[in-house]
Structure 1
Amino acid sequence: MSGTMCSSNSVVQTQKLVDQLRLEASMERIRISLTAADLIQYCKDHRRSDPLLTGIAASSNPFKDKKTCTLL
């Protein structure tokens, strides 16, 4: 009986895998070169507002320590 259960589980798992692979194969793909060009253009267009490139003003930085640490 357990041999039959293992066999049917294996068939079910294999069928699920085949279904997933068919789904992935049928998806429409975007050419990577077009996507990379769009990403580069987006970065160039938004570089002035990017805090990683321009930094954050000390007055508007919510993570800045409010008090300095002093040792006793």
Structure 2
Amino acid sequence: MSCSNSLVQVHKLVEQLRLEASMERIKISLTAVDLVQYCQDHRRSDPLITSVAASSNPFKDKKSCVLL
């Protein structure tokens, strides 16, 4: 019984490895170039690079804290 369980697990592993090996991969260098280009194209609208104006910041506190 243990041998048949082990054999089934090995067959599943082999099928998974065959599936992974048959997948078409994208070269990392091409993906990095695309990512850099995207960042450069959208840098004007990126709030991490160009800060958000205080008047349009939805997370800014509406009232200031006053201690008595």
How high is the TM-score relative to the length of structure 1? 0.80
Check if 1:42 corresponds to 2:34.
Answer: no
Is there any run of 5+ residues in structure 2 with no aligned partner, and where? none
* 2:63 equivalent in structure 1: 67
> How many angstroms does 1:9 deviate by?
2.4
Query: Stretches of 4+ moved more than 6 A in 1?
Result: none
Check if 1:17 corresponds to 2:13.
Answer: yes
Check if 1:31 corresponds to 2:27.
Answer: yes
Q: CA RMSD in A?
A: 1.4
Q: Distance in 2 between matches of 1:64 and 1:32?
A: 39
Is there any run of 5+ residues in structure 1 with no aligned partner, and where? none
Q: Distance in 2 between matches of 1:34 and 1:44?
A: 16
Q: Deviations over 1:25-58 (max 9, x none)?
A: 1011111111111111111111101111001111
* 1:54 equivalent in structure 2: 50
Percent sequence identity is 76
Q: CA separation of 1:71/1:16 partners in 2, compared to 1, >3 Å: closer, same or farther?
A: farther
Query: May I ask how many residue pairs the two structures share in their alignment?
Result: 68
> How many angstroms does 1:59 deviate by?
1.1
